[in-house]
């Protein structure tokens, strides 16, 4: 397990992890939505992107079978998971439940 990844998700600030791939069309649609989520929530959330092709071990650990898959962590625990593209308001609502 990647220790820097462990440090990031151990944060008390919710951490949204976007597992994506360069070749994935829906992933490209999700990227600007996540940017808007970050703009709206600012420092209340951390958003990190994990390329599944470059980080297959991490993708396997979290059983990411399709991209995009978003996982939300708080205090090192996974509190939410969703595959596919969601809209900004849906993602913001989920994160706000964990602030």
Is residue 51 a contact partner of residue 59, using CB atoms and an 8 Å limit?
no
- Name the residues annotated as catalytic: 24, 27
Check whether 9 has a pLDDT greater than 60.
yes
Query: By residue range, what is the domain housing residue 84?
Result: 3-96
- Residues with Cβ < 8 Å from 5, sequence gap 6 or more? 50, 58
Token reading at 41: 């929530």
User: Which DSSP string do the residues of 47-75 spell out, in sequence order?
Assistant: EEEEETTT-HHHHHHTT--SSSEEEEEET
Domain count, the chain: 1
- Over the stretch 13-39, which tens digit does the pLDDT of each residue have? 999 999 999 999 999 999 999 999 999
Q: Residue 64 maps to which CATH number?
A: 3.40.30.10
- How do strand 69-74 and strand 15-20 relate by DSSP bridges? antiparallel
**How does residue 93 score in pLDDT terms, banded at 50, 70 and 90?**
very high
């Amino acid at each position: 397990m990647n220790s820097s990844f462990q440090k990031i998700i151990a944060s008390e600030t919710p951490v949204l992890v976007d597992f994506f791939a360069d070749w994935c069309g829906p992933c490209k649609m999700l990227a600007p939505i996540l940017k808007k989520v970050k703009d709206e929530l600012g420092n209340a959330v951390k958003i990190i992107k994990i390329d599944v092709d470059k980080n297959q071990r991490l993708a396997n650990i979290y059983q990411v079978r399709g991209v995009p898959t978003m996982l939300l962590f708080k205090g090192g625990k996974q509190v939410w998971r969703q595959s596919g593209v969601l809209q900004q308001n849906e993602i913001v609502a989920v994160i706000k439940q964990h602030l």
